[in-house]
Copies of this chain bind each other. A is one copy, B any other.
């Protein structure tokens, strides 16, 4: 296997990313946010629903910028709740 399939943990992490983005969107429509961030509505929908667990960095960055959601906070929001105090490997 040259490209390992995503693990369940990675998919869960993607779900948390999507949930965080969806909350940040609030009452704005998906269409307006997607357009402002430069992506299709379908892509935003899949990211929010977690069906695209590992989107491209700049895709996430554009969304975070558009939604005024700090990237660092977004990354932190994807860490499992049980480990949110120990982000360091050590």
Contacts and interface: CB of A to CB of B under 8 A. Distances in A.
A87 interface: yes
A44 interface: no
Copies of this chain, count: 2
A58 B89 contact: no
Nearest to A75: B61
A30 interface: no
A47 to B, nearest CB: 10
A34 to B, nearest CB: 13
Contact of A55 (B36, B56, B66, B89): B56
A1 interface: no
A6 to B, nearest CB: 10
